[in-house]
Chains A and B, each alone.
Chain A
């Protein structure tokens, strides 16, 4: 199973309430995925030269304040670090390779979950409700978000195996379904020097799309290529810096329902995830068609 949700707020005055709207969407999908959960939120963009980094520490009780001080002292970047439990987020004038190299040497249990000008990513093991409370999802603000509740079927239950998966910058996706040829995709990408963090099938789809976009494909072209490349079942919700995208495989047996009003676009595995949204009774409600790309811009 697994539950997926996505929400894009059209009305800028409502962006403060993104977390308030998306958290019940995510929690109501707890029955579809009780073992882990994650949320990616696109917040206010930082300056061109800076990047937001989302981190996850595998060892419980990480001293994030001390880590922030060391990054400041040793990398010369002043990270205004915000953290809760095993996850932290900061923005600084740093590059991913520099931070990655420093972490590998000095804090090998800390992973970079995502990098970008806008995206913050939190994911962890546990019931979605518990994770939402642990990391204060309700307080998050931004233009759009994607979330996932996981019922693992093909690889281990761990925070790093949870969705959303991210690659490159300001790019992530969540997946309901399973891919049967992800080892093939992985081998193909690894030969091109692309590094994988886990053995999860969704990570292969995520890195495939990001690779195509880095090679110059617009997202829609990359997705069209993935129709031929990805073998399996999927409903994907994808987010970039300025868009939210939904796509289903040719059989479309993994559920999806979308609701659009003047104020927002929301997608979820099930309608009950959307039932609390304001004005839902007058929303344009539809099921995305197989192999059709639905994209909304911020």
Chain B
């Protein structure tokens, strides 16, 4: 039978919650942990390694589900900056909106945000995948190295500045591209990839409505011939 653990942050501390979630992975595997009254507290469910389902009933603060491995974390509210930062694997779902640096530096796993993400979404992404149901703020995907970001709404200014090999797919308007980012035609591989990620996120959009943003790779090598004005 599925084991459900209820945890009330109005009664107990964040440290107690994280201690519980850092217990032996084998004991937590297959469990569902429900967290009540998060009240925007920081550092909830960081560093999880167990294959556990975690549901946070409300708004979470900074770094929720940071460094996640294997766990499936759902936040039934908004989240502060750096949700799922440095995630390695597993899945994080935000039912509301996210503040800045969502999914920063994530190496793996899937981050889905139903609402909007703030500035610097997917900054320095290293292989994780991010699907945003709404808009993303300025400087999103800055220096992103690998992985993909799907934006179903609009993207703010400076999108994909100094991109490496991560790819961004945007359905709505792009306020402006950052240095060395460019739009490119969608290939069949892109359409399949966008379709798969939209399916995983449960969003209904036509992959053909997205445009691909990737690195023009002009910043990969130092060019002493040009003025270094950025």
Interface contact B39-A275, CB-CB below 8 Å: yes
Number of residues on chain A facing chain B (CB within 8 A):
16
Known A271-B61, A271-B80; contact A255-B41, beta-carbon cutoff 8 A: no
> Which residue from chain A places its CB closest to the CB of B115 in the assembled complex?
A285
CA distance A257 to B79 in the complex (A): 11
Number of residues on chain B facing chain A (CB within 8 A):
18
The answer to the question of A188 belonging to the interface, with a C-beta cut-off of 8 Å to chain B, is no
Known A252-B119, A255-B99; contact A270-B78, beta-carbon cutoff 8 A: no
- Min CB distance B114 to A, Å, is 14
The answer to the question of A242 belonging to the interface, with a C-beta cut-off of 8 Å to chain B, is no
Interface of B is mostly: loop
Partner of B40, one of A251, A253, A270, A289: A270
Q: Which residues on A sit within 8 Å (CB–CB) of B97?
A: 285
The answer to the question of A108 belonging to the interface, with a C-beta cut-off of 8 Å to chain B, is no
A-contact bits for B101-137, CB 8 A (1 contact / 0 none)? 0000000000000000011000000000000000001
CA distance A287 to B59 in the complex (A): 15
> Which residue from chain A places its CB closest to the CB of B61 in the assembled complex?
A272
Interface contact B40-A272, CB-CB below 8 Å: yes
> Which residue from chain B places its CB closest to the CB of A31 in the assembled complex?
B42
Interface of A is mostly: loop
Q: Which residues on A sit within 8 Å (CB–CB) of B137?
A: 287, 289
B-contact bits for A220-259, CB 8 A (1 contact / 0 none)? 0000000000000000000000000000000111010100
CA distance A273 to B80 in the complex (A): 12
- Min CB distance B123 to A, Å, is 11
The answer to the question of A218 belonging to the interface, with a C-beta cut-off of 8 Å to chain B, is no
Partner of B61, one of A252, A270, A276, A290: A270
Interface contact B138-A275, CB-CB below 8 Å: no
Q: Which residues on B sit within 8 Å (CB–CB) of A272?
A: 39-42, 61
Interface contact A287-B118, CB-CB below 8 Å: yes
- Min CB distance A278 to B, Å, is 14
The answer to the question of B81 belonging to the interface, with a C-beta cut-off of 8 Å to chain A, is yes
CA distance A224 to B95 in the complex (A): 36
CA distance A290 to B139 in the complex (A): 11
Q: Which residues on A sit within 8 Å (CB–CB) of B138?
A: 252, 290
CA distance A255 to B42 in the complex (A): 14
Q: Which residues on A sit within 8 Å (CB–CB) of B118?
A: 287
A-contact bits for B131-151, CB 8 A (1 contact / 0 none)? 000000111000000000000
Q: Which residues on B sit within 8 Å (CB–CB) of A270?
A: 40, 61-62, 80
Q: Which residues on B sit within 8 Å (CB–CB) of A273?
A: 40
> Which residue from chain A places its CB closest to the CB of B79 in the assembled complex?
A271
A-contact bits for B31-66, CB 8 A (1 contact / 0 none)? 000000001111000000000000000010110000
Give me the interface of A with B, judged by CB distance under 8 Å.
251-253, 255, 257, 270-276, 285, 287, 289-290
List 6 additional contacts besides A255-B81, A275-B40; criterion CB under 8 Å. Answer: A270-B62, A271-B59, A271-B61, A273-B40, A287-B118, A287-B137
Sorted from nearest, which 9 A-B pairs have the closest CB atoms?
A: A272-B40, A271-B40, A275-B39, A275-B40, A287-B118, A272-B61, A271-B59, A252-B119, A272-B39
Give me the interface of B with A, judged by CB distance under 8 Å.
39-42, 59, 61-62, 78, 80-81, 97, 99-100, 118-119, 137-139
What are 19 inter-chain pairs, A to B, with CB distance below 8 A? A252-B138, A253-B100, A253-B119, A255-B80, A255-B99, A270-B62, A271-B40, A271-B59, A271-B61, A272-B39, A272-B40, A272-B42, A273-B40, A274-B40, A275-B39, A275-B40, A276-B39, A285-B97, A290-B119
